[in-house]
Structures are given as C-alpha cells and as structure tokens.
Amino acid sequence: MAVKRISITEFVSMMEQYPILDVRSPLEYAHAHMKKAYSLPLFSNEERKVVGTAYKQQGKQPAIKLGLNYFGVKMAAMVSEVEALLAASPDPNNKVVLVHCWRGGMRSAGVAWLLDLYGYTVYTLAGGYKAYRNWVLAQFIMPYQCKVLGGFTGSGKTETLQSLKALGQPIIDLEGLAHHKGSTFGNLGQPVQPSQEQFENLLAQALYKISANHSYIWLEDESRRIGLVNIPTQLFEQMRKSKLYFLDIPFASRLQFIVSGYGKFEKDQLMSAILRIKKRLGGLETKTAINFLIEDDIESSFNVLLTYYDKLYVKGAYNRENPESLIQKIELPSVDPSANAATLLASAGL
C-alpha cells in the first residue's frame, strides 16, 4: 500500500463517506476546521511552536529530528485513537481515512505514513487546509437559485424553514449555522458563535451538498451580519437579488409567538439586550420597554420592541433593487409553521 495524495476536488467528494483526521495543532483546529473533522494533533500547541522555530532558524532536517522526538512517543496512542474512532463510526469495518494538515506537508505526511504502515488506506490532501479554504471561498461566488423566506420578526421564519425541510425542500438555516437568531435577543439560549472562518466552512459545505442534488435553495432573509459573523458578500448579494416570499402575519399572533419564545429568559438578560439597541430604539421607547419588564408585563414590553423591528424590517426589505417585483406577500392568519410551509410551497408553485 502507499499513501495517496489527492486534490481538493477529490477530497471534498469523499468527505461525507470517510473519517477526516485533522492533524493540525489544537489551537488551529479550535479556530476553524472542516465539518465532521476529528482533531488528531501531531504536535501540541507548544510543540508546534518549538518545531516551527527550529525550522526557521536551523532548517528542515533539524526540525524533522526535533519533531520525531515528539512524534515517536505518540505513535501507538495515535493508532489506538484512530482504531477507536473507526470502531465507533457508522461503518466499523471501514479502513479508509482522510488526513490533512495546514499545507499538506510534513505533519500530514508523518501521520499518513504511520497509518499506512499499520494497514489503513490513507488519502492526504494536496495543499492541506489552505487548499480547502480556497475551495470554501470559491463556493460563495458560484451562482445559486435562492428562494428567500421573509417576514416580520415573530413570524416563525426559522420554524417554517424547518417545516419546509420536513417536506423535502432543500434549506440552509443560516441562523442555525451562526448560533444566533439575528436580533438583539439572538444569542439568548444559543451556543457560543463559531468564528467567521468556521461559519464560512459550514456554509460552504452546506451549499455544496445541496447544489449537487437540487436546483434551488431556501434561505431565511437576513441582514448581512448575524451576531458576530457575516454572510459572505457574494452570497448575500445573490440573496438580495432573489425572490422574497414575505409571510404577512398579524401583529397580535407574532407578538404572542415572541413572548412565548423569549419570555422564559431572565429579566436582566432581556434588559441587557434592550439596552444594546438603545440608540436605535430611542431613549423614551427603551425606558418604556424596560419599565414594562420591571412590572412583569412582558407582552407590553415586546409590543414596543416588535413595533420597532417591524419598521426596521420594512426598511431593510425594500432597500433592494426592484423590491416590488421581487417581494411576494403571502397573507397568513397566524404563526403556524407547518401550515404556513404548505401554503408557501403552493404560492411558490412547488
């Protein structure tokens, strides 16, 4: 057997089928990595620093010797770790692994040699994670037929998007990938947001997977910024030029939906969120919304906020080229994701 070095195109085509072993340092992996990649660092963060310094100051061969001192004592443990990983995978009989480091150099070569010696079929990525990042960025300039789901705050857009998925429709949940709901309350009850790079990695792989099997993609109407991450410019511009299916749901129904979703959080969390938009909301409205919270009148507090967000959404929705031709309003009686998804598909002719 011999280690097989493959291109990013080949590597991506195999990512869903075989385990991916990321042999970069723990810090590199924590910052961003491929979806489903398993962290199998050849060097610790400190070891990587020491070897890298030796490479720059003394040259390649002294750095390799130094690296072998670290690598040698880890070999048996690394093999056992890969064995355990494969044994717990959906296909425990699989003996194929994908390996990559940062540039496709010595780290991936070393681990690939070890696993090949042990009897695995090993593929390494030419160009490493750097090649993968170039592939990620290239996905955002590809043309996509986007169907954009819009509506005022509290319309249950995310839930409707998931109902579309349950009906077999191709969707990408941008807020789910970003771990943020988009508004000032968007981080409540959510995991820590990914780095911008990690968000892009997840989004690129979602786009690739769906576009390989479908001619269009449903996405939720978003601002360019979702919490701390940004939708890549080229994709965002495509979304802004796409058909917007606007769920037109009565204010009262949306208010009840919002209260049921966010009313469960602590008052101090809600107050902090309101204060973050004080400049845009206005001093008087901010004070009014907070006073209602203090009085345990959550519904009246969110009434103030929903009125503000409705005005903000109208401004954003119509701030695009030819909004009259792009925006299709769909009048609905209430926030009912399952029923509204079915009505939406009928309106879209699907």
CA pair distance 177, 218, nearest whole angstrom: 14
Say what percent of the chain tops pLDDT 90: 77
Same domain, 188 and 238: yes
pLDDT beyond 90 at 116:
yes
Same domain, 82 and 179: no
316 versus 165: the higher-pLDDT residue is: 165
Query: Which residue among 137, 165, 196 closes a domain?
Result: 137
Q: Quick one: pLDDT band at residue 255, thresholds 50, 70, 90?
A: very high
- The structural domain count of the chain equals 2
Query: What distance lies between CA 292 and its chain's CA centroid?
Result: 35
Q: Quick one: pLDDT band at residue 144, thresholds 50, 70, 90?
A: very high
Same domain, 214 and 251: yes
Query: What distance lies between CA 153 and its chain's CA centroid?
Result: 21
Please, are residues 124 and 5 in contact by the beta-carbon 8 Å criterion? yes
Query: What distance lies between CA 199 and its chain's CA centroid?
Result: 4
Please, are residues 133 and 317 in contact by the beta-carbon 8 Å criterion? no
Domain harbouring 104, CATH code: 3.40.250.10
pLDDT beyond 70 at 147:
yes
**What is the mean pLDDT of the segment spanning 182-211?**
93
**What is the mean pLDDT of the segment spanning 303-330?**
87
Residue 146 catalytic? no
Same domain, 116 and 232: no
pLDDT beyond 80 at 1:
no
Show the domain range for 338: 145-347
**What is the mean pLDDT of the segment spanning 141-149?**
96
DSSP E strands in the chain: the ranges are 4-6, 20-22, 37-39, 96-100, 121-125, 146-151, 171-172, 217-220, 225-226, 229-230, 243-248, 327-331
Q: How many CB atoms lie within 10 A of CB 333?
A: 11
Task: Quickly list H helices, 140-282.
Answer: 157-166, 174-178, 196-211, 233-240, 251-262, 267-276, 278-281
Cα–Cα separations (whole angstroms), residue 325 to 28, 89, 223, 239, 317: 46, 49, 20, 14, 12
Same domain, 181 and 122: no
pLDDT beyond 70 at 89:
yes
Q: Which H helix or E strand runs over 339?
A: helix 337-347
Say what percent of the chain tops pLDDT 70: 100
Candidate list 34, 86, 101, 304, residue with the active-site label = 101
pTM for the whole structure: 0.93
